[in-house]
């Protein structure tokens, strides 16, 4: 039922897009904006993948690591949650080269956003793992599994279902945050829009199209995550024992 | 008197080693002493039923033996070796992961609430640990799981997920899963308490079968007095963290000596 209302929203968004498209500037701006959107998609996808990896590693390190590793994980999480994504982006882009580490703007963008969202995701992962009933852990001990085996085979597969909805929100946050990468010369959707606006001053048309494109991408993420949640829940619900 | 448990632990294995020995084992949560210098020997192959009022420490005994709870004093011996400590230069030091793993391999446990893995079929539940822990091949662990599920009467439910099974069936899967690790000692903690009354029998029948066919040492916490009477070699009545009275079922149920035992048995009889 949620899925259907989302589909309706997507259709409305598309219709709105058509209305916007009927503006005179549509033909003129859309190709350039879509090029930017492609970069935005690229950063979003890369950032999402990185954020999940970073979050799982950080969460497990914080929960189960020996103290130096636990400490590192806490430092990572606190720094990336406690400072703004923009500052992190600038730091990676402008400060790291001073220490001899220069990266492509696109790489920096993915890195900054992935690590930023990963820090929030670590708490999501931690919460979901902690929510797996204690009896599951006890069964793994009684079966003589070690912690890594228990996590990999028993605990994480059950925790994943609870993680999916909050991860959906984080992915959308990540998508929206990609707009800041225009500030380090990455030609994403926001960058293209500003560029066109600066030369043509046709603000209403340009930013209306941009709005619709962002909305459509966010909706795709939401729909994708709902699908995923449905699949995962079905897999687990078949087996939920109480 | 209560402080003896904190003294130096005996460094030698008990003579004539029983399969399980609690040697002045003390367990407390903060200031609350759950088990007070527990002494309990269980011979190899012996079936011991543990009864007693709620909160008397019955579950704690099994959980300590499964290493799910640390102990605060004394030593638990299993198969002639200390459970959570090991001998080094004649002294007992806390066990390392390897020792713990070896000791846990001797013990299996079945829980009140089954604790099956919900994302795995009955067969996969039984195959998981033999594969990942014992390193059996998929085919070997599958054969083992299949055989055990057939033994507990679930040969037709191999591909069912826990949620598709009744409580009694789930508990039988849990028994098969524990047996798949080939333990020497099996622990049963009120394994029929979460079941609807009509499903209790099928689980008890499986336990009877294990008793008859396998050479297992069993400790079972139970409220099924009839079953304890017929199945156990010995019954231990726990009260306030101590074994208040123990003996052969005929003696303990027939002519209990302790007033608390009599009270408890009377109360249980009235309830059923
Ligand atoms: N994790 C815990 N923290 C504090 N007290 C506990 C804990 N687990 C058990 N207890 C207490 O220990 C006592 C014995 O518990 P338990 O062994 O479960 O009793 P039984 O199985 O005989 O009903 C109870 O009084 C219980 O409240
Ligand atoms: Mg209990």
Q: Check CB contact under 8 Å for A144 and B129.
A: yes
Percent of chain B with pLDDT strictly greater than 70: 94
Using one digit for the tens of pLDDT, what is the confidence trace for B169-208?
Answer: 999 999 999 999 999 999 999 999 999 999 999 999 999 9
Residue B229: burial class (beta carbons within 10 Å; 0-12, 13-18, 19+): middle
Reported ipTM: the value is 0.91
Closest CA to B220 of B65, B90, B3: B65
Q: Is the pLDDT of residue B1 over 50?
A: no
Q: Check CB contact under 8 Å for B163 and A157.
A: no
Domains of chain A plus CATH, in order, are 29-241 (1.10.3720.10)
Q: In what order do the strands lie in the sheet with B185-189?
A: B107-110, B185-189, B217-221, B47-51, B234-239, B242-247
Q: Which residue of A lies nearest to B168 if distances are taken between CA atoms?
A: A241
Q: Among A86-95, A128-137, A191-200, which is the least confidently predicted range? A: A191-200
Q: What is the pLDDT of residue A241?
A: 40
For A56-66, what is the mean pLDDT? Answer: 95
CA–CA dist B181, A143 (Å, integer): 7
Farthest-apart Cα atoms in chain B, separation: 56
Using one digit for the tens of pLDDT, what is the confidence trace for B77-120?
Answer: 999 999 988 888 888 888 888 999 999 999 999 999 999 999 99
For A104-118, what is the mean pLDDT? Answer: 95
Task: Determine which residue's CA is closest to atom 2 belonging to ligand 1.
Answer: B29
> Taking CB atoms and an 8 Å cutoff, what residues of chain B touch A145?
129, 132-133
CB contact A104 to B (< 8 Å): no
For A10-16, what is the mean pLDDT? Answer: 74
Between CA B103 and CA B110, with CA B104 as vertex, the angle to 5 degrees is 145
Length of chain A: 242
Using one digit for the tens of pLDDT, what is the confidence trace for B225-254?
Answer: 999 999 999 999 999 999 999 999 999 999
Q: Is the pLDDT of residue B32 over 90?
A: yes
Q: What is the pLDDT of residue A35?
A: 92
Pairing of strands B185-189, B217-221: parallel
Q: Is the pLDDT of residue A232 over 90?
A: no
Q: Which helix (H) or strand (E) holds A223?
A: helix A203-237
**Phi, psi values for residue B183, rounded to 5°:** -75, 160
Q: Check CB contact under 8 Å for B163 and A239.
A: yes
**Confidence band, pLDDT 50/70/90 cuts, at residue B71:** very high
For A70-99, what is the mean pLDDT? Answer: 94
Other Cβ atoms closer than 10 A to A111? 21
> Taking CB atoms and an 8 Å cutoff, what residues of chain A touch B68?
138, 141-142
Decide: B57 in ligand 1 pocket, CB within 6 A: yes
Chain A interface test: which of B118, B165, B179, B193 (most A C-beta within 10 Å): B118
- Strand, helix or coil at B107? strand
Q: Which of B55, B66, B221 is the best mutation target for the ligand 1 pocket, counting ligand atoms within 8 Å of the beta carbon and taking the most?
A: B55
CA–CA dist A227, A126 (Å, integer): 23
End-to-end alpha carbon distance in chain A:
25
Mean of per-residue pLDDT scores for chain B: 91
Pairing of strands B32-42, B85-88: unpaired
A229-233, long-range: CB within 8 Å, 24+ apart, which pairs?
A229/A161, A229/A164, A229/A165, A229/A168, A230/A3, A232/A160, A232/A161, A232/A164, A233/A161
Q: Among A124-133, A231-240, B64-73, which is the least confidently predicted range? A: A231-240
Q: Among A15-19, A26-30, B60-64, which is the least confidently predicted range? A: A15-19
Decide: B241 in ligand 1 pocket, CB within 6 A: no
How close is the nearest chain A Cα to the Cα of B261, in Å? 31
Mean of per-residue pLDDT scores for chain A: 89
DSSP string, A42-80: HHHHHHHHHHHHHHHHHHHHHHHS-HHHHHHHHHHHHHH
Ligand 1 atom with minimal separation from the B29 CA: 4
Q: Check CB contact under 8 Å for B67 and A141.
A: yes
CB contact A142 to B (< 8 Å): yes
Q: What is the whole-number distance in angstroms between the Cα of residue B51 and the centre of ligand 2? A: 10
Q: Is the pLDDT of residue B3 over 80?
A: no
Q: Are B252 and B261 in contact (CB under 8 A)?
A: yes
Q: What is the pLDDT of residue B4?
A: 38
**Confidence band, pLDDT 50/70/90 cuts, at residue B45:** very high
For A61-83, what is the mean pLDDT? Answer: 95
Query: Against a cut of 0.80, is the pTM above it?
Result: yes
Return residues 16-75 of B near A (CB < 8 Å): 66-68
Length of chain B: 272
- Strand, helix or coil at B239? strand
Q: What is the pLDDT of residue A2?
A: 67
Enumerate the H helices of B180-221 as residue ranges: 197-213
Ligand 1 atom with minimal separation from the B221 CA: 21
Q: Check CB contact under 8 Å for B104 and A136.
A: no
Q: What is the pLDDT of residue B7?
A: 39
- DSSP-derived letter for residue B184 is S
- Helix A203-237 to helix A156-177 angle, to the nearest 10 degrees? 180
């Amino acid at each position: 039922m949620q899925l259907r209302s989302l589909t309706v929203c997507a259709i409305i968004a598309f219709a709105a897009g058509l209305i916007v498209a009927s503006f005179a500037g549509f033909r003129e701006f859309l190709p350039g904006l879509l090029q930017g959107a492609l970069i935005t998609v690229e950063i979003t996808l890369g950032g999402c993948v990185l954020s999940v990896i970073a979050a799982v590693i950080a969460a497990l390190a914080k929960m189960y690591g020996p103290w130096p590793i636990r400490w590192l994980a806490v430092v990572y999480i606190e720094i990336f949650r406690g400072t703004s994504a923009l500052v992190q982006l600038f730091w990676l882009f402008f400060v790291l080269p001073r220490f001899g580490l220069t990266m492509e703007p696109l790489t920096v963008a993915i890195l900054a956003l992935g690590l930023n969202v990963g820090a929030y995701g670590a708490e999501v992962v931690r919460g979901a793992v902690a929510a797996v009933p204690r009896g599951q852990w006890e069964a793994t001990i009684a079966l003589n599994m070690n912690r890594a085996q228990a996590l990999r085979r028993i605990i994480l597969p059950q925790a994943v279902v609870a993680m999916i909805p909050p991860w959906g929100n984080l992915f959308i946050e990540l998508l929206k945050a990609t707009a800041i990468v225009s500030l380090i010369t990455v030609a994403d959707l926001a960058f293209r829009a500003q560029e066109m606006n600066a030369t043509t001053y046709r603000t209403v048309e340009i930013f209306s199209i941009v709005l619709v494109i962002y909305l459509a991408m966010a909706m795709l993420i939401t729909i994708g995550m709902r699908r995923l949640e449905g699949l995962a829940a079905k897999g687990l619900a078949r087996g939920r024992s109480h | 008197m209560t402080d003896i448990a904190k003294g130096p632990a005996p460094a030698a294995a008990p003579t004539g080693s029983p399969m399980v020995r609690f040697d002045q084992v003390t367990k407390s949560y903060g200031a609350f002493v759950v088990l007070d210098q527990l002494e309990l020997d269980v011979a190899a192959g012996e079936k011991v039923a543990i009864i007693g009022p709620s909160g008397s420490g019955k579950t704690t005994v099994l959980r300590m033996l499964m290493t799910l709870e640390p102990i605060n004093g004394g030593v638990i011996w299993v198969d002639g070796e200390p459970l959570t400590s090991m001998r080094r230069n004649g002294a007992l030091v806390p066990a390392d992961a390897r020792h713990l793993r070896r000791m846990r391999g001797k013990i299996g446990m079945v829980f009140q609430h089954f604790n099956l893995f919900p994302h795995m079929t009955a067969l996969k539940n039984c195959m998981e640990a033999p594969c990942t822990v014992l390193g059996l091949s998929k085919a070997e662990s599958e054969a083992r799981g299949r055989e055990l599920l057939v033994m507990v009467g679930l040969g037709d439910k191999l591909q069912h997920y826990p949620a598709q099974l009744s409580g009694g069936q789930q508990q039988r899967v849990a028994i098969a899963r524990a047996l798949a690790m080939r333990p020497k000692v099996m622990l049963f903690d009120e394994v029929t308490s979460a079941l609807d009354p009509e499903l209790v029998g099928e689980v008890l029948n499986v336990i009877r079968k294990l008793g008859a066919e396998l050479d297992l040492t069993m400790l079972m916490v139970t409220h099924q007095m009839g079953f304890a009477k017929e199945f156990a070699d010995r019954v231990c009545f726990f009260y306030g963290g101590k074994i208040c009275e123990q003996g052969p079922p005929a003696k303990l149920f027939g002519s209990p000596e302790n007033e608390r035992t009599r009270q408890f048995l009377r109360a249980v009889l009235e309830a059923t």
